[in-house]
Structures are given as structure tokens and as C-alpha cells.
Amino acid sequence: MKRSLAERQTAYSSFQEAVKRLDALVESHRQRVKQLLAAAKAVTGGNPDARLQEEFTALTEDVDELRQDAFQLRAEAEGIACANPRVLQEFQERQKKIADMEARLKDKDEEVATRQERIQELHDQWYPDLKRTVKKIDQTFQSNFRDIGCAGEVSLAEHADYDKFAVQIK
């Protein structure tokens, strides 16, 4: 009887320790769930829409099913491996070339933008003076032509290509 009592006390102590460990594990999971809930509320603004709620409730809680899905997805990912290493190498080389070309293109785009800004600055320096000068010439031209009984006009023919700018006399 003494032995049975000692065995029972040992078993009881073991169960108490197991319960304490399980309580600690439950508390740990509770804390993790609180963290995840806070993160989810931060992402959804604390008010998930109906679509998100439906998707969440549709998710399975069966751990074995989730493990099986994860295993299947890993197997699919590993199955995508390239059988020919040369093809993979060529693909990686082309990816690098594309990245290099995109970097060069970005540099060229920045250079073009800088040059366009400089062109605009220069344009803004001389263009107003040119317009004033052509207007002054036009006024003088019109005045002189009126004196001889004729009509005439001087204007600036503008073009996107500066080489095609011209002074027109009509």
C-alpha cells in the first residue's frame, strides 16, 4: 500500500509538472495570437472587410491538412527545377544583362532629363529677349509700311527644333 501511494504521488507530481508546462505553452501561444491579432488589425485598420472575414473563416484549422498542403507546395516548387543546367545558366546570364541594361537605361534617362532641364534654362534666358526684339521690329516695320500706304508684319515662327526658328515677314 505504501508503494502504491508513493507511485501515485510520483504520478501526481508528474501530471502537475505536465500541466504547468502545458499552461506555459498555452500562455505562450496566447501571447503569439495577441501579437498576430495586433498585426492583423494594423494591416486592416482594425476593421476587416467582409471579403477578408470570409477568406479567413474558409481557412482550415486542421494542422495535418495545413502540413500536407505545405508539403505539396514544397514538392511542386522542387519539381520546377531545371533539368538542363546550361539553360539555367543562360537564363541567369540574361537576367544579369537585362539588369545591367535597365541600369544603363535609367542612367541615360537621368542624363536626358538633366540636359532637357539645361536646355529649358537656356531657353528661358534668351527667348523673352528674342520675343521683345521681334515685337519691337514688328512695330517699327508696321509703322514704316503704314507711312508708304502698305501693310506688313514681322513675327517669330517657332518650332520645337531650334534650327527651324525663323523670322517671318508678311
Q: Mean pLDDT per segment of 10 residues, for the chain of length 170 residues? A: 62 72 78 77 69 67 70 66 71 88 91 91 90 92 88 88 87
Does the pTM surpass 0.85? The reply is no
Closest CA to 120 of 162, 165, 157, 167: 162
pLDDT confidence of residue 161: 85
Distance CA 118, CA 122 (A): 6
Q: What number of CA atoms fall less than 13 Å from residue 150's CA on the CB side?
A: 7
Give the residue ranges of DSSP H helices in the chain. 2-44, 50-58, 63-79, 85-147
pLDDT per position as a tens digit, 44-91: 666 666 666 676 666 656 666 777 777 776 666 656 666 667 776 887
Please enumerate in sequence order all residues whose Cβ is within 8 A of that of 134, keeping only pairs 6 or more positions apart, or say none.
154, 155, 156, 167
Evaluate whether 167 touches 154 at the Cβ level (below 8 Å).
Answer: yes
What pLDDT, on the 0 to 100 scale, is given for residue 82? Answer: 62
For residue 3, the model assigns a pLDDT of 56
- What pLDDT does residue 151 have? 87
CA 86 to chain centre: 32
